[in-house]
Amino acid sequence: MRVVLLGPPGAGKGTQAQIIAGKLNVPAISTGDIFRANVSGKTELGLKVKEYLDAGDLVPDEITVAMVKDRLAEPDAKAGFLLDGFPRSIPQSEQLRESLAELGHSLDRVLELVVDEDELVRRLSGRRMLVDGEMIQRDDDKPETVRHRLQVYREQTEPLSGFYEAAGLLSRIDAIGEVEEVTARALKALGVDDAGQPSAD
Ligand code: ADP
């Protein structure tokens, strides 16, 4: 199955991507995670993208699209994938469609995690991650940057919701509630049971 997970920062995409991809037995591919790993590893790519991540701006398409294309060509993504954080704009979605078409593939479903903005700000400002045994705040989770990321989301990414709806690919998922409840709603929208197998109804 080829699935895209859409939703604002703080909607829980990363958490759900890991769980759902595990059930579907496909790789979860997170552009944000790939960028962050390169920044902390101080790779050539990391040095190029650090300023964008720190500012909460989108990394330029020529960097992001090439990276995703390479990742999707890897053997583990042949039979399916769950994309988290890509596409993040209409031009990126067009590039994705073309890259998949070259491989003879297309998307099966787009899941949009829906959370209201007050809840997003609350979640992001309280969010911490474990790095080298320490709980730290992601640089781009600082309040000013959070506001900017939400604005970038509204302007560049939110239009994808209507775009994929018009294509008949979108399922909107209420992403408020326990992690397990949100997962159950997502699996239902994908038409699979808790083991990732096609459900009877
Ligand atoms: P969140 O969804 O919480 O904002 P991500 O981990 O998905 O966090 O992304 C973090 C940062 O990585 C973004 O603010 C952006 O700088 C960069 N990034 C991730 N995905 C993309 C993308 N598809 N296009 C451009 N930049 C991206």
CATH label of the domain that carries residue 68: 3.40.50.300
Strand order in the sheet with 28-30: 28-30, 81-84, 2-6, 109-114, 170-174
> Beta 170-174 vs 2-6: how paired, if at all?
unpaired
Domain presence at residue 105: yes
Domain presence at residue 41: yes
Q: Which of 23, 50, 88, 109 is catalytic?
A: 88
Number of folded domains in the chain?
1
Look at residue 141 and tell me whether its pLDDT is greater than 70: yes
Number of other residues whose CB lies within 10 A of the CB of residue 120: 21
Quote the ligand 1 centre to 58 CA distance (angstroms).
Answer: 6
Give the H or E element holding residue 19: helix 13-24
Helix 31-40 crosses helix 44-55 at what angle (to 10 degrees)? 120
Domain presence at residue 143: no
Look at residue 126 and tell me whether its pLDDT is greater than 90: no
In which band, very low, low, confident or very high, does the pLDDT at 132 lie, cut at 50, 70 and 90?
A: confident
Domain presence at residue 110: yes
Number of other residues whose CB lies within 10 A of the CB of residue 20: 24
Q: Considering the chain, what is the average pLDDT of its residues?
A: 94
| Residue 35 near ligand 1, beta carbon < 6 Å | yes
Quote the ligand 1 centre to 117 CA distance (angstroms).
Answer: 18
Domain presence at residue 15: yes
**pLDDT the model gives residue 167:** 96
In which band, very low, low, confident or very high, does the pLDDT at 142 lie, cut at 50, 70 and 90?
A: confident
**pLDDT the model gives residue 89:** 97
Q: What is the mean pLDDT of residues 32-44?
A: 95
Domain span at residue 168?
Answer: 2-115+158-190
How many helices (H) does the chain have, and how many strands (E)?
9, 7
Number of other residues whose CB lies within 10 A of the CB of residue 30: 21
In which band, very low, low, confident or very high, does the pLDDT at 139 lie, cut at 50, 70 and 90?
A: confident
CA separation (Å) from 126 to 70, 133, 142, 187?
Answer: 34, 18, 10, 28
In which band, very low, low, confident or very high, does the pLDDT at 129 lie, cut at 50, 70 and 90?
A: confident
Model's pTM, two decimal places? 0.92
Domain presence at residue 124: no
**pLDDT the model gives residue 200:** 76
Look at residue 160 and tell me whether its pLDDT is greater than 80: yes
